[in-house]
A and B are shown apart, each in its own frame.
Chain A
Amino acid sequence: MITEFLTIPGVLILLGCFLLPLLPERVRSSVFLIFPVAALAFIMMRPDGYTITGAIGNYDLILFQMDELSRVFGLIFAITGLTAGIYAWHIKDLSQQVAALGYMGGALGVTFAGDLFTLIVYWELMAVTSTMLIWARGTRESDRAGMRYLIYHVLGGGLLFAGILWHFTQTGSLAVQTLEYEFTVANVLMLLGVGVNAAFIPLHTWLSDAYPKATITGTIFMAAFTTKTAVYVLIRLFPGWEILIWAGLAMTLYGIFYAVVCKDIREILSYHIISQVGYMVVAIGVGTDMALNGSAAHAYNNLLYKGLMFMAGGAVMYAAGTSRLAELGGLGKKMKWVFALYVVGGFSISGLPLFAGFISKGLIIDGAGYAGYEGVMLLLLLAGVGTFLSVGLKLPYFTWVYDAGNKIDLKPIPVNMYIAMGMSAFLCIFYGVFPNALYTFLPHEMDYNPYTIYHFVEIMQISLGTFVVFWYLREKLKGEIVMVLDLDWFYRKAAPATRTVFVNKVDRFYDLVEEGILATASWSAKVFKNPMTWLNPFTDKKNQASTYSPGMEVVMSFIMICFLAIAIFYFI
């Protein structure tokens, strides 16, 4: 029983968090890699329908549950954990390693959770461990962004937990299963809770605020787990909820807009995550078998190529010490491998043939088209234009091709970074060329071949059109040192006012009350220290207790004793 319990990927990896600190520093990074590999092995071994149960009090919990959907997400989380672990192999910081491992454990735990209580535990674990990856950067900016991130995720986790409790009291069920399309309090709370992690607009600001400020290696983990676990939970709980189509569409277009106007590699890529997750959310809203497959496949591929792009962007930042486009440029000759690997990611995410994006983006866009949402399909294609423009052309052009005349001293990049990027790039091309290697893992039966002439014509024409416009208008997208406001303005600008009202004013009130109490005490001590001045108005006001007559002392003592006796009697 115990050994079986240890084969749960989430538990296994969390054990690693306790093991890592006990190991010597030089083997730690290598041992780190064992855990995602072991998780991968156990995920491949377990057949569909395999469950491990446990109980806490009267509640029967399903600690592990395997089916097609959890397998495909589990596989890619473990693979990403492995590549990100290799990318971060040169890092010796124990706290980052433990946090990253715990974060991966949380993501795998959510994926295989068979009930909502197990799910929320891993969910909250992810929030805490990922915050550590932001704080590990150690700058004033990252400290503050980490705190905002944590507050946001505590709020999201709280909403989800409240929804789960409400749902449980209403239905008595803790099962992770499809919810009816009804806006009951429980459902809305759960949707909002998951929506925070999925970065629904306007709940997305934690992502674009914190991801660019985390450590270079930490961002690779963050770009992978939080939003994609949310996509997984959305597929589980809310498939076919039509509102998700509109929520997702808003995300794709909003993300694209910011990816076009931002001027920092990591900001561009972070906003672009929102756009990509938007595609998946649209597909979940459409809810047909094909669209749900598309959502899972796109999440799978997205982890590969988005990870690759963040890795390449991180490599530039590592080497050059900056990720601002205005301070980069002309690195093509000096970093040609990183450039080439990035381009694989850029072509994949833009959905060009022979790359991974081609086989999953088409599933979503065609899925929406077949289900009758033609307007949605056109807007998704428009978002595809923005994708190619922002991360497929603008970002690589101003980093590697365009020479702004900046003098940049490059630090050599560790070999392990190249290995990790190479693995991801290989998988991007592998799945692009052999789509069935991925399609066989998808949860629903479908008959779909991405390599049709129609699909080829569609994507090539769109990409050609985009490229021509980019080439003639590229000066408009040139890097500048600028910050683009987002909706976090409302709470970041309101922070001083909020602090004044809820912290400083409250503090001041307590101060006043305390001062009042002290003043009353000192006044009464002064006035009542000599009762004779009250009992006998004709005596000298300044008379001293030591000058009382013996008779007076007896009376005073008697009063005091009576008072004490009454007090003791009353309390006993």
Chain B
Amino acid sequence: MNNKIWIALGILFLVTLGFEFTVLADYDSHWWNAIPAFYAIWGLAGCIVIIYVAKFISKKFLNRDIDYYDN
């Protein structure tokens, strides 16, 4: 993927991080707000967990041939 897009996404992330530390007045409504960049970590970790867990379960137990019910 184009480097420019990565740079744009990086800047966007820094902007959100900047907001988090400066402008946000109500940034203590939940316990996790004490962790910096919590939502980015949640998105990152959540996505990894979803992909690996879903992949594991489907490969191990659920995947079948496309005409499984016809046979």
Partner-B contacts on A (CB < 8 A):
256-257, 260-261, 369, 374, 377-378, 381-382, 385-386, 389, 453-454, 456-471, 473, 476-477, 481-486, 492
Contacts and interface: CB of A to CB of B under 8 A. Distances in A.
Contact of A260 (B39, B41, B54): B54
| In the complex, the 4 A-B pairs of residues with the closest C-beta atoms, listed nearest first | A465-B43, A465-B44, A461-B39, A462-B43
Contact of B42 (A456, A462, A471): A462
B8 to A, nearest CB: 11
DSSP class of B's interface residues: helix, strand, loop or mixed? helix
7 contacts: A386-B46, A454-B27, A457-B24, A466-B46, A473-B48, A473-B51, A484-B63
A93 B64 CA distance: 35
Given A453-B19, A485-B62, A461 B40 contact: yes
Nearest to A324: B66
B69 A385 contact: no
Nearest to B23: A453
Contacts of B29: 369, 454
Given A483-B65, A485-B61, A457 B39 contact: yes
Contacts of A481: 66
B40 A462 contact: yes
Interface string B9-51: 1001100100110011011011110000111111111111011
Contacts of A377: 30
Contacts of A463: 43
Most buried by B among A256, A477, A484: A484
B13 A461 contact: yes
Contact of A454 (B26, B53, B61, B68): B26
Contacts of A465: 39-47
Contacts of A260: 50-51, 54
A389 B9 CA distance: 17
B24 A466 contact: no
A299 to B, nearest CB: 25
A394 to B, nearest CB: 10
Interface of A is mostly: helix
Contacts of B63: 482-485
Interface residues of B, number: 42
Point out which of B9, B32, B58 has the most chain A C-beta atoms below 10 A from its C-beta: B58
Given A461-B16, A462-B46, 12 more contacts: A260-B51, A261-B55, A381-B46, A382-B46, A453-B24, A456-B16, A457-B24, A468-B9, A473-B51, A477-B51, A481-B66, A486-B62
Contacts of B27: 454
A456 B26 CA distance: 13
A385 B19 contact: no
A473 B46 CA distance: 13
B58 A484 contact: yes
B7 interface: no
B55 A476 contact: yes
B27, B42, B53, B65: most-surrounded residue (chain A CB, <10 A)? B42
Contacts of A473: 48, 51
A466 B43 contact: yes
A256 B51 CA distance: 11
B35 to A, nearest CB: 12
A385 B42 contact: yes
Nearest to A390: B50
B42 A378 contact: yes
A461 B23 contact: no
B51 A389 contact: yes
Contacts of B62: 261, 484-486
B42 A261 contact: no
Given A458-B39, A464-B40, A483 B68 contact: yes
Nearest to A259: B54
B71 to A, nearest CB: 11
A369 B53 CA distance: 26
A385 B43 contact: yes
Most buried by A among B12, B20, B54, B58: B54
Nearest to B9: A464
B12 A464 contact: yes
A466 B58 contact: no
A470 B54 CA distance: 14
B37 to A, nearest CB: 6
A460 B19 CA distance: 12
B44 A468 contact: yes
A385 B23 contact: no
B13 A464 contact: yes
Given A457-B19, A464-B13, A483-B63, A261 B54 contact: yes
A369 B32 CA distance: 12
Contacts of B1: 471
Given A378-B42, A462-B39, A483-B64, A470 B58 contact: no
